[in-house]
Structure 1
Amino acid sequence: MPKVVIGHMDDPKSLTPIYDRFSDEHPELKIGCEEFEGAGEFAAQHEGIRFIWIDKGEGEVYLDVGYRTQEGDGEKLPDCYTSEKVDTENLPILQSIAENLDTLHPEILLPVESILSRFDGEITIGDISNEIRLMVETGIDRVDWTSRPKVRRSFELLLENYSQMGWSTKQEGSFESIKVGDQLTVTADEPVCARGKFRYWWIEDTSIFMTHLTTVRRLNYIRNAATKPSEFLGLTMPWLCYTETEDKLDGVNSVNNHVCHITDQNSQTHYHPAQAIGGGKPQHEIHIALEPSSLGIDVQEHGNYIDIFPEVDDLTVHQKIELSPGTIVYIPPGTGHRIVNAVVSVLGIPGFKLNNTIFLD
């Protein structure tokens, strides 16, 4: 079983083994950690799509008039944004589902209600891809999601069209703030102007030249997806369902990200199988420990760690890795792990795959 690799950003040499393992296992992806100060441009450097995650500091990026985003279901977007009305194709889909909640299977009711909470009858605000994922991951056959054929058809269309909903458009160009945990997505042809002082991780996918992702995804503008009120789960790059093809079993997903705070009371040991359920690449993860106060999260000063279980059939064998801001842990598939009392940015390669999280406790 491959071992985890541990490094710390305060010791650049300790990151080399992480880079080496990453390059061996993901040759189509490039990775790095850099610091930025002053003003300049961010762009892809290997003719692909570059994803950037801030782990320390803050800054601003310039977003021009006409910029579109699926943020705004957390804190409200600035007044310079206008939420787009649901178009005539998708409006009947949401109306049909909203009018027939009593026909739904109880196990999909919560994510459906979460989708509808973003809908005011004319507009939707925010990204609903995680709710779609939760519905699919129940394992309930889509035929059984509702007892009404009309609503069944609405769900079929929702699964095809969900990425078209929840958009807002910027009405004037300006700089906007970016902070710890936020994500940037850039290409070679469309650089992003930035200013400030921050440290960041980046991964560039050299196998693609187009992306479904918007330039920024900011935690404060994204709904907290955690199910426990004392915890936090910000999905800056969730898994997109129903995008797979015969030659791309993971669809448009090559990297995902979320930022999470998990308490010791609710931490669960789990692993991601070395042979991916459903095909495609097995799920690898990089855990980047963040400074909790930078996100306004209070955690106890001591007892922040990741437990690693190299053999998932023998949990008596484990490794405890103490976490401090800047700790990096590369976790290969098939390795049990759990986060305790920490705030962590988790990078999933190719992403947080459907039905590929197996709980051990």
Structure 2
Amino acid sequence: MTTNVPGRAIRVGVNGRFLSQKLTGVQRYAHEIVAGLERRYASGRFGDSRFTLALPANAAERAGAYPAFGSPVIGRQSGYRWEQLEFPSVPADVLLNLCNLAPVRSRANILCIHDANTFTAPSSYGWRYRAVQRVALPLLARRAASLVTVSHASAATIAAVSGVDPSRITVAPNGHEHALRWRPEASTLAIDSLTARPFVVMLGSRAPHKNLALVRQIAPDLAGAGIDVIVVGDAGSVFAGGQGDDGGLICTGRIADDDIARLFGRALCLVFPSFVEGFGLPIVEAMALGCPVVASNLSCIPEICGDAALLRSPHAPREWIEAVTGLAADPARREALVRAGRERVKLFSWERSADIYAGLIEAVRAEKGRAIPR
């Protein structure tokens, strides 16, 4: 147990397990928030407080990724075992965890749970990941000193499955600025070898809740209208198996961010038919890069899109066909969506979300000598 006296600096331990993982939306969130906090730390915002970005053994080569923070390798483990058994040994008054899980034995966690999809879309996940999440998420949510998520819809769902008072959950959304750093001119993707026709893009994993099935359904009608469908992404290690063959779709697998930027620059629109999301990061990435969005009207997606996208039922293929072909036939409407999207993404800023976390950390310091139990 540690004690913070009035005005005394605190020690912040940052869970660096994300640096050992493949980059998806959750890991990108962690990268951007940690980068934002590092900039604030270097500018003196946190006074004499100290940040330690603790790394598991399999992320040793990432030491120094955030040079203003100390980044020691803690212990010899990796994965869940490291997170639960070795990360808590970092000397800290508060532990910052940005990727859904945190040490169960600590009550000093600032924890971001991005979604409760293992409860709302269990068939999308492998049994091992689902079992861990369904046990750990409610327990960690109840024990966290500060609980954060990425949308108001996600906050409501997490509250429902964990019993946490919704007023205890802070919303710190994903941002869009990273997409503005992508360089389509640096892309090596040969789009013309994929298709010479207009196309739409679907971006994301092949988990069932992403609803690739709908895209397969609409692809033949779109092809008949002269529009192809390009699907970007793979199954991902935590997700359940695929949904059949990819007949009628052009599938690229995982591609570089610069390649995604190039696709968005050429696409008629992004199609995003998910049944459930925590946030829906591809929506703001597309909007930031001037690509219109046709998206599901469920979960958090209307909250993210507002009036800047065409929202359709993910159960109604005909609605999607009409939306896409309507955009192809009406350039003025498409351009209006481009403008609306560029305005909409200004609501979603990594800088503002990093400020939210900075405020939570500063609140720990403001405890004025009251210990946080570990």
Same topology, TM > 0.5: no
Higher strand residue share? 1
Q: Which structure has the greater CA radius of gyration?
A: 2
Q: TM-score, normalised by structure 1?
A: 0.26
Relative contact order (C-alpha < 8 Å, sep 6+): which is higher? 1
Q: TM-score, normalised by structure 2?
A: 0.25
Higher helix residue share? 2
